[in-house]
Amino acid sequence: MNDKTLNIAAVQYDIQWLDKAANFAKLESMIRDFFSGYDGQVDLLLLPETFSTGFCLDDASVKEPEDGGEDLLWLKKMANKYNCVVAGSVFVEHHDKKANRFYWVSPEDHVKYYDKRHLFRLGNEGGYVAQGMERKVFEIKGIRILPQVCYDLRFPVFQRNVIQRNVTSKDRSDYDVMVNVANWPAVRRNVWDTLLKARAMENQAYVIGVNRVGDDGKGVAHSGGTCVIDFKGEPLVQAEDDKQQVISWSLDMSALVQFKKDFPAYLDADDFKLK
């Protein structure tokens, strides 16, 4: 992994409430404009939580078929058009509720997903959304990525970089980059900024946070905070507050490997198992 880089782009925008056509059109315009001025290959293109509809819990119709619908087809189209993994969350049917599903779609139409584990109690998300039961790690070019969604950020045990004691490789942690896609409200923006840095430092990993801007259909304001943070908790790039913008960065995996070699605090982490 030493000589590898992960080229990422993240879209911060004002999600239009329950208007998929408008959201797809806006995203396509922003992404097209970004790529027209971008010299190089993007490996991973990230979108906010519930990027096609906004965070609408109490409308039972706001969900895709579990075997794929309009949102997934659009993600596949974008992944193929720009030859990169495209990822973001949508609501999908799941038993008698729906899941807040983080889709991970490759240019080859390979689809993986992670269902949001921690459901926002204050907004009664658990009343409408089924809890995800499995922690997952995805890969691009051998670089390991932990997907998380919004409220997950508050729960460090679930995001702990697990030490694999029986692995013979030099780096025995289980991921290199954590990604959190969100609809994180402006009123709690300081928590977002602080916890993203904390997760990077405590896990010795790159962290990417992708948030929206603008007011949603419930009148909740969002100020953004989309950013890339390095393994020391230092911001590498950050979108402007309250602005629709695509940011990008090339994550240097050799720098991460060297830092963990020079400061191998992760090897002293406590053993534990998630139930």
Q: Give the strands of the sheet with 177-181, arranged side by side.
A: 138-140, 143-149, 177-181, 206-210, 227-229, 235-238
274 domain residue, yes or no: no
When pLDDT is cut at 50, 70 and 90, the band that residue 274 belongs to is: confident
Helices (DSSP H) in 37-129: which residue ranges?
Answer: 70-82
More confident residue, 274 or 27: 27
Mean pLDDT, range 204-230, rounded to an integer: 98
Q: Is 150 a catalytic residue?
A: yes
| Structural domain that includes position 139 | 5-268
Mean pLDDT, range 193-217, rounded to an integer: 98
Asked if 64 and 72 touch (Cβ cutoff 8 Å), the reply is yes
Instruction: Single out the catalytic residue among 63, 98, 116, 260.
Output: 116
Q: How many domains does the chain have?
A: 1
* Burial of 20 (C-beta count, 10 Å sphere; 0-12/13-18/19+): middle
36 domain residue, yes or no: yes
Mean pLDDT, range 230-234, rounded to an integer: 98
Instruction: Single out the catalytic residue among 64, 76, 84, 150.
Output: 150
Q: What is the mean pLDDT of the chain?
A: 95
Asked if 184 and 211 touch (Cβ cutoff 8 Å), the reply is yes
275 domain residue, yes or no: no
Q: In the chain, what is the greatest distance between 2 CA atoms, to the nearest angstrom?
A: 52
Residue 166, pLDDT above cutoff 70: no
Q: Is 116 a catalytic residue?
A: yes
24 domain residue, yes or no: yes
- Length of the chain, in residues: 275
Q: Is 49 a catalytic residue?
A: yes
Q: What is the pLDDT of residues 39-86, one digit of tens each?
A: 999 999 999 999 999 999 999 999 999 999 999 999 999 999 999 999
Residue 137, pLDDT above cutoff 80: yes
Model pTM score:
0.96
Please enumerate in sequence order all residues whose Cβ is within 8 A of that of 221, keeping only pairs 6 or more positions apart, or say none: 185, 186, 187, 214, 215
Cα separation, 88 vs 200, whole angstroms: 20
Residue 98, domain CATH? 3.60.110.10
DSSP 258: H
When pLDDT is cut at 50, 70 and 90, the band that residue 171 belongs to is: low
98 domain residue, yes or no: yes
137: helix, strand or coil: coil
Asked if 160 and 266 touch (Cβ cutoff 8 Å), the reply is no
75 domain residue, yes or no: yes
Q: In which element (H, E) is residue 261 found? A: helix 253-262
